[in-house]
Amino acid sequence: MDTNRDLKRSPRSEFVAGVRAELPILLGVVPFGMIYGALAVGAGLSVGAAMAMSSIVFAGSAQFVGVQLIHAGAPGMVIVFTTFIVNLRHILYSASIAPYLAQLSHRWKWLLAYLLTDEAYAVTITRYNQESASAVKSANRHWYLLGAGLAMWSTWQVSTAAGIFLGAQVPSSWSLDFTIALTFIALVVPALRDRPSVAAALSAGVIAVLAFGLPYKLGLIVAAISGMAVGLWVEARLLSTGRRHERGDSR
């Protein structure tokens, strides 16, 4: 019943839902974008280059690191390679969302890949996983990612420009950056329904803290991959004990 209704979700309603889901996290993105803008101009980038980096690269952490390296006079190849390392975690995003986008045309894939930031990925994959858990298949679900992605994109461009021209105007005492972590908490915690995901989340979190000292966000990807490995191991153990139970073994 629900499934049939969901199948008829229009592109427009998916798009609007994506924009709305993205709104809370944007509260934290605005001060982040303004700090980037102020930092980029302070590091000696022209207004045009500082703005262009936000649309050409469109990756907050990599832009921060890039601007600092440019300011320090690092060689271009080093900066490009560092960008690669800092953004490596997006391979995981790309892989985990790919099955949901497999039916799309090349044009859609090319567009949505450009919009695949941490923030847009987090809300979209949560939605897609919920849908697939309840056996819902919405033919227009790519519009949801488009809505979340464009909301994030426009906010990033505007807040970057604001930071370039006005400086970082949001006082850090407001702690608005905390809304990003809170949104991720709101998305992850309800999804921890089974032991493998709990194991993956806890071990990834602990390893992220232990590996925090690694440069260029490498700790993040090490933690994520270790967490996934632990989650898979728990899943495999659950399956093998389940099979033994089916065969009537005592343990």
Partner 1 sequence: MNVWLLLICMGLVTYAIRLSMIGLIGRVNLPSVVQWALCLVPSAVLSAIIFPELLMPKGTLDLSFGNLRLLAGALAAAVAWRTRNVLLTIGVGMVALWVLQAVFPH
- Helix (H, G, I), strand (E, B), or coil: what is residue 56? helix
Closer by beta carbon to partner 1, 8 or else 130 = 130
- Calpha distance 113→194 (Å, rounded): 30
Rounded CA separation 30/60 (Å): 11
Contact between 209 and partner 1 (CB under 8 A)? yes
For the chain, report the end-to-end CA distance as a whole number of angstroms: 41
- Among residues 161, 188, 214, 218, which is the contact residue for partner 1, using CB under 8 A? 188
Q: From the CB of 84, what's the least distance to partner 1, in Å?
A: 5
- Looking only at residues 83 through 112 of this chain, which bind partner 1 when binding is defined by CB under 8 A? 83-84, 87-99, 101-103, 109-110, 112
By the rule CB under 8 A, 161 interacts with partner 1: no
Using the minimum distance from each CB to partner 1, give the nearer residue, 156 or 251.
156
Per DSSP, 174 falls in state G
CB of 213 to partner 1, least distance (A): 9
- Could you say which residues in the range 2-61 bind partner 1, by CB under 8 A? 21, 24, 45-46, 49, 52-53, 56-59
Structure tokens at 80: 């490009």
| CB closer to partner 1, 45 vs 136 | 45
Residue closer to partner 1 (CB basis): 16 or 101: 101
C-beta separation of 96 from 197 below 8 A: no
Q: What are the residue ranges of helices labelled H in 115-251?
A: 118-133, 142-166, 178-188, 195-210, 218-247
CB of 1 to partner 1, least distance (A): 21
Q: How far is the CB of 166 from partner 1 (least distance, A)?
A: 23
- We find the least distance from the C-beta atom of residue 180 to partner 1, in angstroms, to be 8
Rounded Cα gap, residues 78 and 69, in angstroms? 9
Please state, in angstroms and rounded to a whole number, the distance separating the CA atoms of residues 160 and 237: 48
Q: Residue 195 in contact with residue 238, Cβ under 8 Å?
A: yes
Interacting span for partner 1 (CB under 8 A) from 4-12, 150-158, 204-212, 241-249: 204-212
- Please say which residue, 76 or 248, places its beta carbon nearer to partner 1: 76
Q: Site for partner 1 (CB under 8 A): which residue of 47, 212, 237, 241?
A: 212
CA distance 96 to 86: 18
Q: Minimum Å distance from CB 141 to partner 1?
A: 14
Kindly state whether residue 118 participates in binding partner 1, applying the rule CB under 8 A: yes
Q: Does 66 bind partner 1 (CB under 8 A)?
A: yes
Distance, in Å, from the CA atom of 129 to the CA atom of 194, rounded to the nearest integer, reads 14
Closer residue to partner 1, CB minimum distance, 20 or 244: 20
Judged on CB neighbours under 10 Å (0-12, 13-18, 19+), 122 is: buried
